Chains A and B, each alone.
Chain A
Amino acid sequence: MRNGNAKAINGNAKRCFKLMIVDDSNLMRRRIERSQQFEDLQLVGTAGNGLEALELFKKTDPDVVTMDITMPRMDGIECIGQLVALKPAVRILVISALADKATAVEAMERGANGFLEKPFTDRQLNEAIAELMR
């Protein structure tokens, strides 16, 4: 995985990961941004659908992506495949209300690394992101 900007914390050089949030709901994008509590995760951008996400991904080269599934123009499943093709090491957490197994399996097969069901608590979100960055 390519490093983002390094910053020194407590005298130790610490890797800083770049985060992109993809969800068609402004409300959910802000919720994820507000709730994530990782000092070493820097938000580089948000997108409202898969096509916007692809464009933003090429410009900002994020390391970690949270991805909704049901979105207009290009859904999360298709977008995951395209992001992984651009950068195989990207870590993708699907955050979706589509809780059926088939959706989760399809997302994982396309290259997602984790699945968090909506609705979620702050704690669940942070645990899922921590797992992703491990």
Chain B
Amino acid sequence: MLHEQELKTFVEGTTNFFEVTAQQPASIGSPYLMEGSPAVHEYTGVINISGKREGAVYFTAPKAMLTVLLMKMQENDFSHETMRDLVGEVANMISGNARRDFGRDFVISVPSVLSGEKPQIRHKPGMRSFIIPINWRSHSAKLIVALT
């Protein structure tokens, strides 16, 4: 079972990115649990975790949200590659936070990115995920924590 502090580390890695980079804090919606493979948006940053826990953490966001975030960063390239870079960077921040807080108990992969019209993540049968809505301006992304 995940501990509250572990979830907090992943959430803070995400919200800190919005607060510092876009100078506009994100708010957290009500977290919920779901079984099976959750739906994701067009762009998803992924870190795989092994060691004390096994599984993955995903930051998934719609293109519209990422576009506004890039504008707030004064970026003027809104290409597919830049969107991928952006979710990869958010995953990178989550990974950095986790390494700082959990030390060597967690082995954390280099972030990777999923993208496309209908990208899918596949979990083992029976795997449950915590879904944490990340709300920013009028947009909503999700942090998916799928760890055993």
Contact = CB atoms under 8 A, between A and B. Distances in A.
A and B bind? yes
> How many residues of A sit at the interface, in one of the four size bands?
20 to 34
Contacts of B92: 70, 97, 118
Contacts of A96: 96
A58 interface: no
Q: For the complex, would chain A's binding face be called helix, strand, loop or mixed by DSSP majority?
A: loop
Contacts, number: 59
A100 B85 contact: no
A119 B99 contact: no
B82 A97 contact: no
Interface residues of B, number: 26
Given A119-B21, A120-B20, A28 B89 contact: yes
B85 A118 contact: no
Given A25-B88, A97-B96, A98-B100, 9 more contacts: A26-B81, A27-B89, A30-B77, A70-B110, A98-B96, A100-B99, A103-B99, A118-B89, A119-B93
A109 to B, nearest CB: 18
A10 to B, nearest CB: 29
Given A28-B89, A30-B77, A119 B110 contact: no
Contacts of A27: 70, 75, 77, 82, 85-86, 89
Contacts of B100: 98-100
B129 interface: no
Interface string B107-147: 00011000000000000000000000000000000000000
Interface in B26-74: 70, 73-74
B110 A31 contact: no
A98 B93 CA distance: 8
Nearest to A68: B92
A29 to B, nearest CB: 9
A106 interface: no
A28 to B, nearest CB: 7
A117 interface: yes
Contacts of A99: 96-97, 99-100
Given A96-B96, A119-B20, A25 B85 contact: yes
